[in-house]
Amino acid sequence: MENVRTSGPLPVPEPVGAASVRGIVSHRGEGFRRLLGDVTDGLRPFFGTTGAVLPFTCSGTGGMEAAVVNCVAPGERVLALCAGYFGERFAAVARAHGAEVTEHRVPWGRALDPAEVRGVLRAAGPFRAVLVTHNETSTGVLNPLREVCEAVREESDALILVDGVSSVGAIPVEMDAWGADVVVTVTQKALLAQPGISPVAAGERALAAARGRGGPRYYFDFPRMADAVTEGTTTYTPAVSVLQGLDAAVRLLREEGPENVFRRHRHAARHLRRRLTGLGLSPLVAPEDASPTVTAVRLPAGVPADAVRGRLEREHGVLVAGGRGPWKADTVRIGHMGVFREDQLDAAAEALAETVGHLAAAPAAR
């Protein structure tokens, strides 16, 4: 059995797989209305919203694009908070749609600092929207979303668009209480289902912005999708089988209880970190910034990530993700989101220590 410790897609629990092949229902029928209602009701607590949850059939990047095109018109000013690869992607999406993007970058491996964000808003505002990644999967950094939202709210009336792709379902998100306007996530990570749907939570201010103008769009229109969902359907043919899987997945998460799910992820991150440092390995990120869902591990000089990943898979059946950006060759990332057992994390840490030791001692054996 492989030990899949990537940051998604992940193997789905058996009930999720079974639900997704149960037989397709028509998205204009009563069965679908019930399914959609159950899924959106079930997801709300994980977004921390009482508002609209819009299931777009696309990957997470599609959800990010949906957030941008509904809230930002070409030429409008956007502040993109970038702590890594996915923060920069959000900025690129906005730029592709003609926004005038100011990037605030922090070094990869560090979290955003709300005081710095406040400073940028004062010095360079006003902005139509602020883009922020909650959990930066590329480095394993958890950004202080609540405090960032607080800073944005106090300093401006910019819309807050959140990439919650690797956080929603594993890390608390209180969209309404924190004042975020859009939170984007995906089915294939902490939500335990197959890839194919990007559930997007859109608050009243975001819907009003889209009704007012927003950017050019057709498929990704928030107001039309919100109206359709209210009527128990979607604007266009959805990935029905993925929604069926997601329905089963959300039931599993709700049975476990959101607080228990969040605690399990926090605990896993701390446990893995202890194991790694105990084995002489160094997590990239400081403990106070560390993500509950993914941990990047620094590799010693001369031990490249590709060689580590290859040997881990071949010799140990452990799949990890490679590094990104400046840390591409020098880190691997171990995922701990969704369903996993502690002994799988232990096995991954031990296999990594063995692999690093082997490659450091015998570079020729690569």
Enumerate the known binding-site residues.
333
* CB nearer to ligand PMP: pick between 196 and 283: 196
Tell the smallest beta-carbon distance from residue 67 to ligand PMP (Å).
11
Positions at the binding site for substrate: 333
Pair of tokens at residue 337: 């989101």
Tell the smallest beta-carbon distance from residue 137 to ligand PMP (Å).
3
* CB nearer to ligand PMP: pick between 105 and 358: 105
* CB nearer to ligand PMP: pick between 59 and 295: 59
Tell the smallest beta-carbon distance from residue 135 to ligand PMP (Å).
6
Query: Which residue in the shown chain puts its C-beta closest to ligand PMP?
Result: 60
Contact 287, 319 (CB under 8 A): no
Burial class of 195 by CB neighbour count within 10 A (0 to 12, 13 to 18, 19+)? middle
* CB nearer to ligand PMP: pick between 59 and 241: 59
Tell the smallest beta-carbon distance from residue 215 to ligand PMP (Å).
19
Distance in angstroms (rounded) separating the CA atoms of residues 156 and 213: 20
Q: Which helix (H) or strand (E) holds 129?
A: strand 129-133
Using CA atoms, how far residue 28 sits from 43, 119, 228, in Å, is 21, 49, 10
* CB nearer to ligand PMP: pick between 70 and 166: 166
Contact 146, 118 (CB under 8 A): no
Question: Cα angle at 270 between 148 and 268, to 5 degrees?
Answer: 100
| Binding stretches for ligand PMP (CB under 6 A) | 7, 59-61, 86, 133, 137, 163, 165-166, 186
